Amino acid sequence: MPRYLTEKDIADFRAELCRVATERFARFGYEGVTMRQLAEALGCSPKTPYRYFKDKADILATVRAEAFSRFAETLEAAAAKGDGPLDRARLVGDAYLRFADEHPHAYRIMFEIDQPIGEEHPDLLRESKRARTFVTQQAEDMVKAGLIDADPQLFGWSMWAATHGLVMLKQAGMLEHGPDIRTLAGFHGALMFRGALATSAKTGRKR
């Protein structure tokens, strides 16, 4: 008789499949991974993964949604510890770099996989939007507090683009003989902040 699978058995297999898929997608990209390869890595029959996921796209959407969720939780937890917009922005930036350093495969499948994020995968759409919105929230808070005089969307996305670029350089091994990534991030952030510094903040007057 076939073994009866408990809810824990199912959850454990899904979790292990997602772990293996995250690593494979990060290393080989979407096109470089097949369901058969995932089954071989798990030591199961080629048909087994189809009992838990519809297809490869469904697996990718699931692991990307989980990655975005963990990413957003990390940033939100960091911001909750901040004392004012500037401190929150600093803590969020540190948390961003720490997440990318501790979870390089998750980071890559979030931002380096060229697969659309659409309504056919609502969990992925929701969690990616949650993370994306939060990244620019720090700039919006600084504008509201009168600390910077800039378009918060442009400022926030520019900071994000620079931070992502630093992460990619580090993951590619290009910063091994240069400054520390946090030193570079702090330098760039200070330059942007000074460039967008509000007149009231420069003079010390209240707006």
- Its pTM surpasses 0.75: yes
pLDDT score, position 206: 45
Q: Which residues of the chain have pLDDT under 70?
A: 1-4, 199-207
> CATH fold of 61-203, please?
Tetracycline Repressor; domain 2 (1.10.357)
CB 163, CB 96: distance < 8 Å: yes
What is the Cα–Cα distance from 16 to 22, expressed in whole angstroms? 10
